Amino acid sequence: MRRVTMFVCLMLGSPLARADSSVVTDREYAVTTLDRIARPVIESLAEGKLKERLPLGPGEESRRDSTCLEAFGRTLAGIAPWLALGPDATPEGQLRTRYIELSVKALVRATDPESPDFMNFTRGAQPLVDSAFLTLALLRAPDQLWGPLNDSQRSNVIQALKATRKIKPFESNWLLFSAVVESGLWHFTGECQLPAIQHALARHEEWYVGDGTYGDGPDYHWDYYNSFVIQPALVAVLEVCQEKKSPLAAKFPVVLERMQRYAEIQERLISPEGSFPIMGRSSAYRFGAFQALSLVALRHDLPKTIEPAAVRCALNAVIRRMIEAPGTFDHQGWLRVGIAGYQPALRESYVSTGSLYLCLTGLLHLGLPANDALWTAPAKAWTQKRLWAGDDVPADHAMP
């Protein structure tokens, strides 16, 4: 694929292209953003050159052994619902066809021990984290990512995931990384280490602090890990439990209701200007902070207090503010640390270039087809925009 955005090229060369090509819909903008961010990762890995090309910023050399799996697992977890829509004849569908082909090649490269881009699944603790994100991708788009693999390639993927069993998770959200990997193995192979799933679910039930929010371990942390990891992972694990008719699935309705409330809170955090409070760890993951809201929208599980078009407009406002800030990308198109541009002081010791691609999980709602009401309904102001414009908006209430 050429460095020029393929989606734009396809649109302009299509009978669907507008006479006024400057008019871009919210969906077109979201797809173009996905393409701009994901392209360097997926294209490079499909060519077997991700390790060669992925840059490390100042102070990130110690993360070299893990950054490529971070970039790949997080990117694929974010774009998987969009891939799951499958090919079609539209310009977007043609772009998606190409991404599916490249993503399968990338998956093969990442898990083939003979590949120059074979990922690290065993050294250090970080591989457990990003094997979980890779597993989420497989669960989110099984027909497009798992289906095309031959037996040997599937065996490589399974062996790579199983290799992370040697990594002991911390008593925190990390328990869910093991649980997600085991849920994926359960789904794709029929076997898993069930205690890892049971332990993660039990602990997070203990750590629920109320009003749709979990503590990260026994203590509460004001950050976005309920969205980065906890709530999406709990839902993914419990969906596999449902599929396997496990008694563990009995908790699913309650967990989903909590995520709906958390999504309601997230929508209210977005200011009229498209900003939101930056606090806690991993702020450089940008709009990945809204994975939970995007996932609830994708599932058609938004609370009645939120209109889908308002979520579309709110998330697009956030994404525009972040992605269009000068310095967000380096001269080769790779993400750089920051919220609004390049802000290296925001980097924690565990963050590297590959870590930043978790932002793509804030685009899960692109897995809704283009004719879904979220995309087709007229623009709608979100809660804070309505309130500060003087609209009479019903009061918010805590989850009982």
DSSP string, 121-171: SSSSSHHHHHHHHHHHHHHHSHHHHTTT--HHHHHHHHHHHHHGGGSPPPS
Cα(345)–Cα(324) distance, integer angstroms? 20
Q: Find, among 266, 362, 357, the residue nearest to 54 by Cα.
A: 357
Q: Does 212 fall in a domain?
A: yes
Q: Does 10 fall in a domain?
A: no
Q: Does 150 fall in a domain?
A: yes
Q: Which residues pair with 214 in a beta bridge?
A: 208
Tokens matching residue 114: 């003979």
Confidence tier at 77 by pLDDT (50, 70, 90): very high
Tokens matching residue 386: 């309505």
Tokens matching residue 273: 């200007």
Cα(46)–Cα(260) distance, integer angstroms? 36
Asked whether the beta carbons of 89 and 369 are under 8 A apart, the reply is no
Q: Does 2 fall in a domain?
A: no
What are the tens digits of pLDDT across the range 5-22? 444 444 433 333 343 445
Q: Does 235 fall in a domain?
A: yes
Q: Find, among 189, 166, 187, the residue nearest to 237 by Cα.
A: 187
Q: Does 395 fall in a domain?
A: no
Confidence tier at 24 by pLDDT (50, 70, 90): confident
Sign of the CA dihedral running 145, 150, 152, 154: positive
Q: Find, among 346, 349, 211, the residue nearest to 289 by Cα.
A: 346
pLDDT score, position 23: 65
Q: Does 3 fall in a domain?
A: no
Owning domain of residue 252 = 24-388
What are the tens digits of pLDDT across the range 242-276? 999 999 999 999 999 999 999 999 999 999 999 99
Asked whether the beta carbons of 277 and 271 are under 8 A apart, the reply is no
Q: Position 383: which residue type?
A: T
- How many domains does the chain divide into? 1
Q: Given a cut of 80, is residue 217 above it in pLDDT?
A: yes
Domain CATH number, residue 66: 1.50.10.20
Q: Does 267 fall in a domain?
A: yes
